[in-house]
Chains A and B, each alone.
Chain A
Amino acid sequence: MRKYLISSVFLLAITSIIYSCQSQEKMDLQNYIASGRDIYIAKCQNCHGEKGEGLGELAPPLTDSLFIKANKSRLACFVKNGVNEPLVVHGKEYKEKMPAFPELTNIEVAQVLVFITNSFGNKEGFYSYDQVSADLIDCRK
């Protein structure tokens, strides 16, 4: 009986640890999305729109999930350094420059990207600020 009790307590502890781990990650995701939304409104929405719809041929929409997936490791560079090359989004070419946002810290870049890549029909999950630092090193290739 005693053995049974101990093992069940042990099992319960393990499950709760796993469960809390999962919810921690989920919480991080929710936190990043919440902070990222504010940054998006302040810095991105002018051109890319409330629903990520873009603006004519001046600013591309952020709703092309395939583009987002294929260019995920370059997104941090786009935000921090701006874009000065044509990009093909939803099969259309966009040639306007995007301004750089050097004032954003790595964690802010991570937050705004988590918001964008999990909104407007995208579902890329979590993106940590460590990954932002790593991706930024590879910018000038």
Chain B
Amino acid sequence: MNKIIITTSICLTLIISLSSCQQDKKLPFYGERHAETVRDAAGIEKIDTVYQTIPNWSFLNQDSVVTTNKLTDGKVYIADFFFTSCTTICPTMHRNLLTVYNDFQNNPDVMFVSHTIDFKYDKPSALKKYAKKLGVEGPRWTFLYGSKDSIYTIAEKSYLVAVGEDNKAKDGYIHQGYLVLVDKDRHIRGAYDGTKVEQVDQLKKDISILLAEKK
């Protein structure tokens, strides 16, 4: 009799712990973090973790309209860095990103933000032409143009993607092909190599996990 009780309780514990695991499925937070003392609604002091946050930004979009972080605030978005005349990794990145874009086409809470790092040539009109030729129209995928300083700073300091000019590189620039997953509170929750199909598939799964996280 004792044996039966023990086995049942072990089984129960296992089942409970397994099911709680599933509920807890959460994505990690990337970047630096620090502890901060905050007051909650009742005025009691608490220690809270503050994660790396994408700062306010303001760039021109492909229609030459000033676009700010208001576009993506409260939404999940995928950010990347590219340039239109890039013949190395960008076409593969955007071919793969296009499959993500199509998979979530009925979800307005998933947005795409591509920044050009070619501040000389990729003016908004060039971005507009590129977007059209890629087959992207509408506000869900935005292509952003900014000064060299502003784009390179936000890439390296905020999105943690290395970019740079390089006269020796075939197209004049070097950059990493990361697709950066950002949550509704502007925290980085994932980074995926946009040139690898497996990692892009993982991105699709992680977007769904992020969307399912408690609001």
Which of A55, A96, A99 is close to B95, meaning CB atoms less than 8 Å apart?
A: A55
The stretch that binds B, out of A30-38, A56-64, A72-80, A123-131, is A56-64
Q: Is the CB of A58 within 8 A of B134?
A: yes
Asked if B133 is at the interface (CB within 8 A of a chain A CB), the reply is yes
CA distance A47 to B90 in the complex (A): 9
Q: Which chain B residues lie closer than 8 Å to A49 at the CB level?
A: 95
Q: Which chain B residues lie closer than 8 Å to A46 at the CB level?
A: 87-92
Which of B90, B133, B170 is close to A56, meaning CB atoms less than 8 Å apart?
A: B133
| Interface SS, A side | loop
CA distance A59 to B89 in the complex (A): 14
Q: Which chain A residues lie closer than 8 Å to B134 at the CB level?
A: 55-58
Q: Is the CB of A59 within 8 A of B91?
A: yes
Q: Is the CB of B133 within 8 A of A47?
A: no
- Name the distance in Å between B30's Cβ and chain A's nearest Cβ: 27
Asked if B43 is at the interface (CB within 8 A of a chain A CB), the reply is no
Q: Is the CB of B87 within 8 A of A56?
A: no
Q: Which chain A residue has the least Cβ–Cβ distance from B136?
A: A56
- Name the distance in Å between A60's Cβ and chain B's nearest Cβ: 11
Q: Which chain B residue has the least Cβ–Cβ distance from A58?
A: B133
Asked if B132 is at the interface (CB within 8 A of a chain A CB), the reply is yes
Asked if B173 is at the interface (CB within 8 A of a chain A CB), the reply is no
CA distance A57 to B87 in the complex (A): 14
Q: Which chain B residue has the least Cβ–Cβ distance from A94?
A: B133
Name the interface residues of B122-176: CB closer than 8 Å to any CB of A. Answer: 130, 132-135, 170
- Name the distance in Å between B142's Cβ and chain A's nearest Cβ: 17
Q: Which chain B residues lie closer than 8 Å to A59 at the CB level?
A: 91
Q: Which chain B residues lie closer than 8 Å to A96 at the CB level?
A: 133
Chain B residues in contact with chain A, CB under 8 A?
87-92, 94-95, 130, 132-135, 170
Q: Give 8 nearest A-B pairs by CB, closest first.
A: A57-B133, A56-B135, A47-B91, A46-B91, A56-B134, A58-B133, A99-B87, A46-B92
A selection of 6 A-B contacts at a CB cut-off of 8 Å is A47-B87, A55-B95, A56-B133, A57-B133, A58-B133, A96-B133
Chain A residues in contact with chain B, CB under 8 A?
45-47, 49, 55-59, 96, 99
